[in-house]
Amino acid sequence: MTPPERRDTEARANPEAAVGVDAVGATATPASLAELLTLAVHMERDAAARYAELADAMETHNNREVTELFRRMSVIELGHAQALLSEMGWSDAPQPGHAAAAESPEAPPVDALHYLMQPYHALELALEFEVRAERFFDRLAGVARSPELREAALALRDEERAHVELIRSWMERVERPLPNWSDDPDPPRYTE
């Protein structure tokens, strides 16, 4: 798992990458509502899949409360994807174009998981990527080519902001880990 401090340092060194700007540069900014919502549907689906992975990891460690949170977040993300599809009258989203080619700013990397991860770490990770998604849509609103695109991007940003608040409320209920949380008195042993 990449420590939050290291990710924060990397984000400060390259703030555009930290909010997913590399996925939506000047030439890749969605030019239509359909392109924006295609991007959003794929981001929501990516996030749902990653939340399901986080839930599985927490379930393995018998953390039912956080497992349920991540399963709930996965369902919420899939619900957002479905709502966007319905809004556009699509049965499925078109294949994303060049704007969605990079890793979704909302989906935590799989290598961010740690087998000794505690609930607080999992929530911290989710918070980081929900904030990234919020910033991503905020940036898109700032470069939108039409009032319609700006309004849609702001609505998507506000949905992500609601996710941020949900996760923060869960973080208040979870014990912070001790500094030596990753010390394992019986680490896994690999033999060939």
Q: What is the DSSP string of 76-89?
A: HHHHHHHHHHHHHT
Question: Range of 89's domain?
Answer: 30-95+103-171
114 located within any domain: yes
Q: What are the two backbone dihedrals, phi and then psi, of residue 23, each rounded to the nearest 5 degrees?
A: -80, -20
Tabulate helix, strand, coil % of the chain (nearest 5): 65, 0, 35
pLDDT at 26: 34
- The CATH number covering residue 130 comes to 1.20.1260.10
pLDDT at residue 21 is higher than 50: no
182 located within any domain: no
pLDDT, tens only, 125-169: 889 888 999 999 999 999 998 999 999 999 999 989 998 998 899
pLDDT at 71: 92
Joined together, the tokens standing for residue 166 give: 């949900």
**Range with the lowest mean pLDDT among 6-20, 31-45, 46-60, 162-176?**
6-20
Domain count, the chain: 1
192 located within any domain: no
25 located within any domain: no
Q: How far is CA 147 from CA 18, 32, 152, in A?
A: 26, 11, 9
115 located within any domain: yes
187 located within any domain: no
117 located within any domain: yes
**Residue 78's pLDDT band (boundaries 50, 70, 90)?**
very high
6 located within any domain: no
| Mean pLDDT score, 39-65 | 85
| Mean pLDDT score, 57-61 | 80
What does pTM read for this prediction? 0.71
